[in-house]
Chain A
Amino acid sequence: MDLFLHQALAGLATGSIYACLALAIVMIYAAINHLNFAQGEMAMFSTFIAWQLMQWGAPYLLAFVGAAAFSFVAGIAVERVLFRPIHKAPVLSHIVLFIALFAILNSLAGFIWDYNVKSFPTPFGSRSLFGNGLVSSHDAGMMGVAFTMLVLLYVFFRHTRIGLAMRAAAANPESARLAGVRVGRMISLGWGMAAAIGAVAGIMIAPVVFLDPNMMTSILVYGFAGAVVGGLTSPGGAVFGGLAVGIIENLAGTYIPYVGRELRLTIALFIIVAVLTAKPSGLFGRAIVTRV
């Protein structure tokens, strides 16, 4: 029982990583109705920016804010330069562009910062909590950050004019235009916000998985799994989904032979397929009742 609890807690800790990324995924999905397969690489690149700023002597907080701000602007730039010109092309073409972006960012990061694994600092320290070495103070801090972001996003989307405008633009662009919403700007803003959230996620994750150009590949899958489990339309669901994926992954690793060492990603696959099969709109996704 004790082992179970401890493993669940540890799962919660890794889960909060996935939750951060899942949140970024859901954000961009809300803004553009696409899944960004390059989201992980964007987060990785942002994290390198933060690392570089610190190498240049910037204090942690400045590097954190600087990287988030850079990512916000870069996210908008990517949307404007890369995606806007082809916004009418088929979805499949968009996915190819995501793949291209993925390749470019990965390769560029390797070229600039090389492929050696780098350590990344944490402001929360790495003391062990609960005396069992499974949950560190960084893990706790990470959960705090994920939760704070969630609350901020909730307030932003539910209670601000611009949040409502973003939701309107994503839900029904044509109708939103007819209400005077500047849809193009909302899409850009969504990209910027998603990139910034991704940056925060990357900076939180890097102390745990270390920094290198490939740090995000498998985490992205878990992030997707979390987002899907929660239902792609719900930021709260994304956080819950991310945490759930973390816990399930950890418990399965503990109690099912082979899984822990070798088949962690298979668990993610299994979760995605199982949840989607049982409930195609995710656990918290909105099943919209549309009347014609």
Chain B
Amino acid sequence: MPAALLETVGLCAFYGATQVLFGLDLKVGEGGVTTLLGANGAGKTTALRAVSGMVQTTGDIRFCGQSLAGWATEDIVRLGIAHVPQGRGTFVSQTVEENLKIGAMSRRDRAAISSDIERVYGYFPRLKERRKQQAGTLSGGEQQMLALARALMLRPKLMLLDEPSFGLAPLVVRDLFEILRTLNRAENVSMLLVEQNASLALDLADRAYLIETGRLVMTGAAQDLRNDENVRRAYLGY
């Protein structure tokens, strides 16, 4: 296991008076992919939101050794943490290209931004065809691609991916995971991946966590979880 890029220690999260996470210790290695598995309502989305500073938390979150406690979302993002939210967060009345520019809002290097736009179009040619189109009119899958593309515009060190395959056709899902793999290998982007398709997620990841109602129930190398009898039955379905 390489050095930790992101590490949470005893992470608890709250919505008002309701506690949703109960002391999670998570790690994402430098250049690694960690996947977070769990049933609906287990608290996966909440865990990602906690890292982005969007929910009340206690415990510590460290990124590159720096504690993020009390940081505003905007500032966390600027450290290079790109969050692709569940539900995509598309700017529906802006064009596709404007969406990408919004993704690069924290950067000031104009020339590099333009070349990055071309680069993400390379990953998602479909978006290039629709660059002038109002993003709200894209299909669900296209919006999912746009969300990923928008996150890439940040030139992230770490991506928080919340069910990136949601609503995509199986073939598209395969392509998407190929792209994620490329990003990870070629561009050294680390990832914290929440995914219903546990099989694909475990293939991509080096490390995996299984949570139930806000508590860790299993931790280990992705390979080990893959071979675990219980995980197999509950999440992989064979």
Direct contact of A and B (CB under 8 A): yes
Contact A165 B105 (CB under 8 A): yes
Contact A179 B103 (CB under 8 A): yes
Q: Say whether B140 faces chain A, with CB atoms less than 8 Å apart.
A: yes
Q: Say whether B150 faces chain A, with CB atoms less than 8 Å apart.
A: yes
Answer whether A175 and B91 are a contact pair too, CB < 8 Å, given A168-B102, A180-B78, A183-B74: yes
- Closest A residue to B142 by CB, please name it: A291
User: Interface residues, chain A, CB within 8 Å of chain B?
Assistant: 161, 164-165, 167-168, 171-172, 174-183, 233, 286, 288-292
Which one, A164, A167, A178, contacts B73 given CB within 8 A? A178
- Closest A residue to B88 by CB, please name it: A175
The minimal Cβ–Cβ distance linking B191 to chain A, given in whole angstroms, is 16
Compute how far the CA of A107 lies from the CA of B105 in the bound complex, rounded to whole angstroms.
Answer: 42
Residues of B within 8 A of A165 (CB): 102, 105
A-B contact list, 5 entries, CB within 8 Å? A174-B54, A178-B83, A179-B103, A181-B74, A289-B92
Compute how far the CA of A188 lies from the CA of B89 in the bound complex, rounded to whole angstroms.
Answer: 23
Contact A291 B137 (CB under 8 A): yes
Compute how far the CA of A175 lies from the CA of B87 in the bound complex, rounded to whole angstroms.
Answer: 10
Answer whether A290 and B102 are a contact pair too, CB < 8 Å, given A175-B85, A181-B74: no
Contact B93 A288 (CB under 8 A): yes
The minimal Cβ–Cβ distance linking A181 to chain B, given in whole angstroms, is 5
Contact A168 B91 (CB under 8 A): yes
Which one, A177, A179, A286, A288, contacts B150 given CB within 8 A? A179
Given contacts A176-B105, A177-B54, A177-B77, 4 further A-B contacts (CB under 8 A): A172-B91, A179-B77, A181-B74, A292-B140
Residues of B within 8 A of A167 (CB): 91, 94
Of the four ranges (under 10, 10 to 19, 20 to 34, 35 or more), the interface on chain B belongs to 20 to 34
Which one, A178, A181, A182, A233, contacts B52 given CB within 8 A? A178
The minimal Cβ–Cβ distance linking A257 to chain B, given in whole angstroms, is 44
Q: Say whether B90 faces chain A, with CB atoms less than 8 Å apart.
A: yes
Which one, A179, A288, A289, A292, contacts B106 given CB within 8 A? A179
- Closest B residue to A233 by CB, please name it: B93
Q: Say whether B70 faces chain A, with CB atoms less than 8 Å apart.
A: no
The minimal Cβ–Cβ distance linking A170 to chain B, given in whole angstroms, is 10
The minimal Cβ–Cβ distance linking B130 to chain A, given in whole angstroms, is 13
Contact B134 A289 (CB under 8 A): yes
Answer whether A175 and B89 are a contact pair too, CB < 8 Å, given A289-B137, A291-B138: yes
Answer whether A288 and B136 are a contact pair too, CB < 8 Å, given A178-B83, A179-B102: yes
Compute how far the CA of A179 lies from the CA of B156 in the bound complex, rounded to whole angstroms.
Answer: 11
Q: Say whether B19 faces chain A, with CB atoms less than 8 Å apart.
A: no
Q: Say whether B30 faces chain A, with CB atoms less than 8 Å apart.
A: no
Which one, B102, B136, B143, contacts A176 given CB within 8 A? B102
Answer whether A164 and B102 are a contact pair too, CB < 8 Å, given A177-B77, A290-B92: yes
Q: Which 6 A-B pairs have the closest CB atoms?
A: A180-B106, A175-B89, A180-B77, A177-B73, A168-B102, A178-B83
